[in-house]
Amino acid sequence: MPTYSGELRVDAKARFVIVASRWNPRIVDALIEGARQALIKHGVDPETLDLVRVPGAWELPVAAAKLARGGKYAAIVALGCVVRGDTRHYEQVADGCAQGLMRVALDHGTPVLNGVLAVEQHADALARAGGAHGNKGEEVALAAIEIVDLWTKT
């Protein structure tokens, strides 16, 4: 039985885009930098890497959909941070964003990697944006490279 798996190998013609929220900038900017560094370190030419900023996590799916419809990108890396507050708004935004990003990927066939942190408090986000738990921006960027490579094999 044939087995297919993506590798951290970049097609020189592949374009990547990071779409990121401006909300919680300290966290999201660290995620962006982690993703950018990982992509470049693994062979993505900086000239084939774009950054699109949107107001908040709620706007990420619609931006990702527009980018996917354009057909320009091999993968979309979505980054943001939603921190629990005193209302249900946190769940609505975090869940809606995740479901929206998945819908974009399924509807358009473009890999959309979800690097949107949904955390209880800012300290949790800091731990995942270059702190004790690594950088989730870097992790989803590496997953983007791997899935794009996999699609060339299947």
Q: Which among 42, 89, 108, 133 is annotated as catalytic?
A: 89
3-state secondary structure of 147: helix
Question: For residues 17 and 76, is the Cβ–Cβ distance under 8 A?
Answer: yes
Give yes or no: 42 in active site. no
Rounded to whole angstroms, the Cα distance separating 112 from 69 reads 12
19, with CB counted inside 10 A (0-12, 13-18, 19+), is: buried
Residues forming the active site: 89
